[in-house]
Amino acid sequence: MPFILACFIFLTSTLSYSASNDLPSLGDATSGLISIEQEHALGRAWLRNLRSQASTLHYAELTEYTENLIYKLASHSQVKDRRFEILLLDNKQLNAFAVPGGIIGINAGLFLHAKNEAQFAAVLAHELAHLSQRHFARQIDENRKQTPIALATLLGSIMLLATNNTEAGFAGLMTSQAAATQWSLSYSRDWEREADRLGMHTLISAKIDPHGMPDMFKQMFDAHKYSERPPEFLLTHPVTENRISDAAGRVDALDTKPLPEDIDYHLMRTRLQIKYNKQSHNLAFYLNRLNTQLNEEQEQITRYGLALILYDLKKFKQAYTHSQRLLDLDKNRISYQTLNDQILFGLNHTDQALKNVKEQLKLNPNNHPLTMTYTSMLMSLARYHDAADVLQSHVLIRKTDPYIWQQLAEAHGKAGNDVALYQARAEFLHLTGQKEKALQQLKTALNLSKGNFLLSARIEQRAREIEASTNDLTF
């Protein structure tokens, strides 16, 4: 069972039995323990705390790809509550986790370690299985038999593990786990096997190659079996030879017909390899690769890497050669369209770039990568009012994305929309665990909105909502 899941299990062990018995029936084994709504509230409070400390990634293409894959997997899983919050952490260490309430965190390192989409999806399907079986709520009943462990140490450890201070987090983890009884750890191994089994069925139902699960396990086991300290994922999901053989045996016993993988995973992985592995995945690497015998898919991946690097180097003419070739090969792929539009903008072909992205948005309304590309161009052209209008519409669709609220605040500020600036900034601060600062922003907005009774009423209502929220994980 993941360590993050364990944190919530032990943290909530202080909930009284009598209080939990008053919960409404959910029609399953966990009905009298903790409701789905309690899990949802607990997860959102934890997420706000994490966002206040962890560095996250904001590549719109990466966000959209990951969200689409998770929702695809979820539709083939047993997860009933699909109000997910998906967090991409700027951390190259291998890790992924699922927190009660639908919080799914993925380190960039998972992309770096998973060689294909099947391996990547296998990890996500496993985490979705933990959510679907509500292992968190089920463990609460067992924990009533156990002396509560050091909750403060446990909570501090999970926050440290999710940020870059992994050594301190690991030390806290060991201190906390020392207080847990052996039966609890044994129980968690049973749940790991259950999550493997259900995750496998999710992959098969989603037409994703189930070999990805044993392949990913074996790759992690081989890569880290001699390491003094394995990555966080292996600390919380121990991989043994038996677990690998069990997963492989399940696949061999099944008659599966997975669909061919789309190229998107490899494109997203290429973007992150360029970011984190600069010495190996550099311009020379991709140029040399382009000169080898490549099939069409390999050519696209290579040219995508070249176009990204050349764009970052502001060598727009060279980048344009590759982006045009990519569009020749697949003119409808949005990751190619946005990159080509950005390159055109860099070449000062601003009218053409804006025309392209607007036409693409007509075909793909509210598309996240296209919308963020468009607003970035508008901001660069000092068209702040236009950018604010686009972002204001977009944030209604993605209300819990702090990055969009941050961009909206910047646009409103530069456009001179002071009240809207403070409102947007309050939402960003609230979502990143800075409640008091968020309320101060709304107080300023309220002072500026005097005389506008409708606007003042809305601001006061939002302030009451934020005031009523909690970042206190003890509930």
- Matching residue, tokens 């047993």: 78
Q: For residue 171, is it within any domain?
A: yes
Answer whether 220's CB lies under 8 Å from 233's CB: yes
Of the candidates 252, 278, 298, which is a domain's last residue?
252
Q: Return the DSSP state at 85.
A: E
Helices (H), 133-211: 135-143, 151-162, 166-177, 182-205
Average pLDDT, the chain: 83
What Cα–Cα distance (Å) separates residue 288 from each residue in 45, 274, 283, 428?
48, 15, 9, 44
Residue at which a domain ends, from 252, 277, 308: 252
Identity of residue 84: F
Q: Which residues pair with 98 in a beta bridge?
A: 104
- Banded pLDDT at 225 (limits 50, 70, 90): low
DSSP 8-state assignment for residue 145: T
Same domain, 224 and 295: no
Strands 85-89 and 103-107: parallel
Residues 362 and 455 in one domain: yes
Q: What is the DSSP string of 258-307?
A: PPPPPTHHHHHHHHHHHHH-TTTSSHHHHHHHHTS---HHHHHHHHHHHH
Higher pLDDT, 285 or 165: 285
- Residues 350 and 247 placed together within one structural domain of the fold: no
Contact 244, 221 (CB under 8 A): yes
Across 212-218, average pLDDT:
88
- Least confident among 186-195, 242-251, 385-394: 186-195
Domain count, the chain: 2
Q: Taking the alpha carbons of 357, 358, 364, 369 in that order, is the dihedral positive or negative?
A: positive
Select from 343, 275, 267, 310 the least CA-distant residue to 61: 267
473 in a structural domain = no
Tokens of 356: 């392209």
Low-confidence winner among 36-50, 138-152, 268-282 (lowest mean pLDDT): 138-152
Question: For 88, phi and psi rounded to 5 degrees?
Answer: -105, 115
Range of the domain at 214: 3-252
CATH number of the domain bearing residue 274: 1.25.40.10
Element at 426 (helix H, strand E): helix 418-431
Residues 87 and 106 sit within 8 Å (Cβ to Cβ)? yes
Residues 275, 244 share a domain: no
Is the residue at 257 inside a domain? no
Judge if 292 and 246 occupy the same domain.
Answer: no
Residues in the chain, how many?
475
236 in the same domain as 316: no
Average pLDDT over residues 261-266: 96
Lowest mean pLDDT among 37-46, 308-317, 456-465: 37-46
Q: Specify the range with the lowest mean pLDDT, choosing from 137-141, 236-240, 299-303.
A: 137-141
Range from 46-50, 200-204, 346-350, 420-424 carrying the lowest mean pLDDT: 46-50
Which range is least confidently modeled, 77-86, 248-257, 379-388? 248-257
Q: What is the pLDDT of residues 339-358, one digit of tens each?
A: 999 999 999 999 999 999 99
Q: What is the mean pLDDT of residues 291-304?
A: 96
Whether 259 is in a domain gets the answer no
> Quick one: average pLDDT of 96-101?
84
